Structure 1
Amino acid sequence: MKRPDFHIVVIGGGMVGACVAALSAANPQLTGLRIAMLEAQPPTMPPPQDGNAEIDLRVSAFSRAAERILGSVGAWPLLPAQHICAYDDMVVWDAPRQPDDPGVIRFSAGAVGEPNLGHIIENRRVQWALYECAPFREQVTLLRAELTGLEFDNERAVLSLGDGRRISAMLVIGSDGAASRSRALAGIETRGREYDQQAFVTHVRTERAHGYTAWQRFLPEGPIAFLPLADGRSSIVWTTRPEQARELVGCPVEEVSRQIGAAIGHVLGDVELAGPRGVFPLRLQHAREYCRERFVLVGDAAHAMHPLAGQGVNLGFMDCAALVQILADALSRGARAEAIAELRVLRRYERWRKSENTLALGLIDTLNRVFSNSHPLLSTARRAGLAAVEHSGLTKRFFMGRALGMRGEIPRIASRSAGWS
């Protein structure tokens, strides 16, 4: 067998791609493997950490499991404290109700003995921390190019790059997003559909403090969420009809502020637009397969979901931790390095993560279908369902456990010593 240039090549250097590269480099069972990441536009250093830098529109809610995964490679301590906002509570309610009405769901970290329910952080700062962590810097080769071709034979995968180079790998990990080129070149199809919704995003200042609480109200057109930011503002993710989302991007500041305040039911008083505006299309998508011989998918390349539960990147990080655990376990049994690319090994990862992700995608899609309409019978059922969840401690713990990444089959690196009950 001709020696490949690399044992592992990760396609795509976003948060999930950088995570799987760093985890692979940090795992003691994978020590000695040659790891590369292909990314045409690697990130630049975020603005100075003086607290005055503008917060980027793209923020995410990072779960407890994500925190542990990032901590395991040394990336979490590199995140500047003044750009991290822990949130302690979450309030969810349906449009006809007010946040203090009976039947509104209130999740609290204290109820499950957790310090918080998660952290709101800019994507770019998490991505940069992963590039800067020691395992990545010291052991991952960064290839600044685009993928243009991908071929497989019995011994290796051969990647053609946009700059004319050709490199070989034992295993290729596709982490290049929902429109994954590597997935298409590997011949893996997807199923799903475009949502008749788009996500309008911006930042706002509010008359009353956010109180380190995430607020989410379900409207007939889709949910609106207020996510607390470290500087006192809130990040807005408003899922609505495409025409309304585009209108919100272009209408006067005073009008969009008024509409946002009305949509959230003025839960924090008057709203003032305090950031740029953007709009993003939404799609439900799931790969029919997660792997082929010498090729495997993680993150949005494998599954893309509605943002209403904020679980996209968290599921991606769990994919990374599970895949690296499977690869490490294969080598710990004395197998040669070639075992990481074998289909029998990659199928273990597929069975594990595809079942977990199918459950999450189905649950979130169902919630969006049930809540994003004004049918009177469904409105009655929603109110009854929310009230039932609020009054069932066991059900609330289940949802909080899922949101924190502490329920289901959890990778060892993300688990806690005492499991959720």
Structure 2
Amino acid sequence: MSETKVSFDLVISGAGMVGLALAAALAPTGLRILLLEQQALEQSSALDALPSDRFDVRVSALTKASSQLLDFLGAWSVIEGLRAAAYTDMHVWDGMGRGEIHFSADELHEPCLGHIVENRIIHAALLQVVQQYAQIEIIQGVGLSALSAPDAAGGRQITLTNNDVIHTPLLIGADGALSKTRQLSGIGATEWDYGHHALVTTLISEQSHQNTCWQVFTEDGPLALLPLASSSPHYLSLVWSTSPTHARSLQALSAEALGQAITQAVGQRLGDIRVVDQVTALNLRQRHAHQYVDTGLALIGDAAHTIHPLAGQGVNLGFLDVASLADVLTQAHQAGESLSSLTVLRRFQRQRRAENIKMAATMEVFRRLFGHRPAPIRLLRSLGMKGLDQLAPVKNHLVAMAMGTKGNLPPLCRAPVRVF
């Protein structure tokens, strides 16, 4: 028999990076928040003695906007105390031509372009922040099994996999690309397979990574080498997006042979490269929910949208969702508006859906442009990259937008105004 629990002001399904960030952002409002997570959560204490030669193969390239949000939440100091790699430069080139672009923080008068941080570290830091708030409860090992239609007040009744029943004015789906929240809500999504698998692992390079992100567009797909720590200048994270057939053939290689293949793919720019961890392949699909909100319900992060990782924007879009939704809900709560209200929730959708679609479309254009193209297109592509590299104002504007220092940013992601 099911047990009816006390109602919560807000339920967040999914205690990953995005779900935890939203809980932390809303905690100052005093709302009673429930976080549901099907997996066991790794405590931050488990990371206190991180080995210097072992890294999580899943990493995120955090923009300035994301690090600003994490700083506001109180998580950034924890992340920096554990491990974060600031990168100052980016080298992007066409492996099938001669085009190349170099982005530099010096040209923007910034200390860095962003940070590469292991996902487990981001997650642990956010969990540590969330656990400081008494009004936030976390239930592990459970998920959603049923979701009611909105009641007269717009709230939702949720049935959990342990048969508990919970009532809440608002359910937030932050439960990933295969979101159970999205499925139970009946919200459809447009999706297709990119025809790519992303190979991820940890590497050691003969030469220093120079606090630089390296990305080459190969014939099979983009390959990125990301610096993992300034104190360990030879450790890199690999993200190689390639065809499923090529991915399987690469995975079948010995560690030594795969290292040689990576060395050749990047033109030996960092000398010999060695593979020092297990190689994981991730299937890449594009998804976008037809709508982000319904009465008493909202979707954020991968539950609402997933894109190709070639520009590393996935989690950054999720954090922008968090900042936007937290701002909308905080203002609504202070004004005495119902959190269930579709009018309130559509404010968030208007702010984020068009922006996310624009980013997804941009990534699709780049993916297609740098795919296997006829020789004339490859020539024009290389000439375009060379030309853009010479147009400093245009190039720097583009990288500033990608960094999250310009554009339509939610308040929590904006850097403080400098006072001189």
TM-score with structure 1 setting the length: 0.93
1:323-369: CA deviations, max 9, x gaps?
0101112233x324xx2220011111101100110110000111001
Secondary structure of 1:269's match?
A: coil
- Residue number in structure 2 paired with 1:229: 228
Determine the C-alpha separation between the residues in 2 that align with 1:6 and 1:35: 6
What residue is the counterpart of 1:210 in the other structure?
209
CA drift at 1:56:
1.1
CA–CA separation in structure 1 for the residues paired with 2:218 and 2:225: 14
Of the candidates 44, 48, 51, which is equivalent to residue 42 of structure 2? 44
Pick from 273, 276, 294: which aligns with 1:274?
276
Q: Name the aligned partner's letter for residue 62 of structure 1.
A: L
Q: Distance in 2 between matches of 1:229 and 1:25?
A: 31
What is the alpha-carbon distance in structure 2 between the residues aligned to residue 372 and residue 75 of structure 1? Answer: 38
Further displaced range: 72-81 or 114-123: 72-81
Q: Which residue of 2 aligns with 1:123?
A: 119
Change (3 A) 1:330 1:357: same
Residue 394 of structure 2: aligned partner: 395
Shift of 1:81: 3.7
Residue pairs, 1:48-87, within 5 angstroms: 48-52=48-52, 54-81=54-81, 83-87=83-87
Partner in structure 1 of residue 305 of structure 2: 303
**Residue type of the partner of 1:76?**
W
The whole-number CA distance in structure 1 between the counterparts of 2:290 and 2:393 is: 33
> Is 138-147 or 312-321 further displaced after alignment?
138-147
Match of 1:35 in 2: 33
Deviation for aligned residue 1:267: 0.9
Which residue does 1:335 correspond to in 2?
Answer: 336
Range 399-408 or range 292-301, more displaced: 399-408
Asked if 1:354 corresponds to 2:353, the answer is yes
Does residue 105 (structure 1) correspond to residue 101 (structure 2)? The answer is: yes
Structure 2 distance, partners of 1:134, 1:185, is: 27
Number of residue pairs matched? 407
Aligned AA (1:360): M
Report the Cα offset of residue 417 of structure 1.
4.0
Alpha-carbon separation, structure 2, partners of 1:255 and 1:249: 10
| Match in the other structure for 1:170 | 169
Q: What RMSD over aligned residues (CA atoms) do the two structures have, in Å?
A: 1.8
Q: Distance between the aligned counterparts of 2:86 and 2:415, measured in 1?
A: 19
Q: Give the gaps of 5 or more residues in structure 1.
A: none
Does the 8 A contact of 1:6 with 1:35 survive in 2? yes
Separation in 1, partners of 2:246, 2:57: 19
**More deviation, 139-148/61-70:** 139-148
Structure 2 partner of 1:245: 247
CA distance in 2, matches of 1:73, 1:47: 20
How far apart, CA to CA, are the structure 1 residues paired with 2:268 and 2:165?
Answer: 57
Q: Secondary structure at the match of 1:138?
A: coil
Please say if residues 43 and 124 of structure 1, whose CA atoms lie closer than 8 Å, have aligned partners that are also in contact. Answer: no
Identical aligned residues as a percent: 35
Amino acid at match of 2:134: E
- 1:418 Cα deviation after fit: 4.8
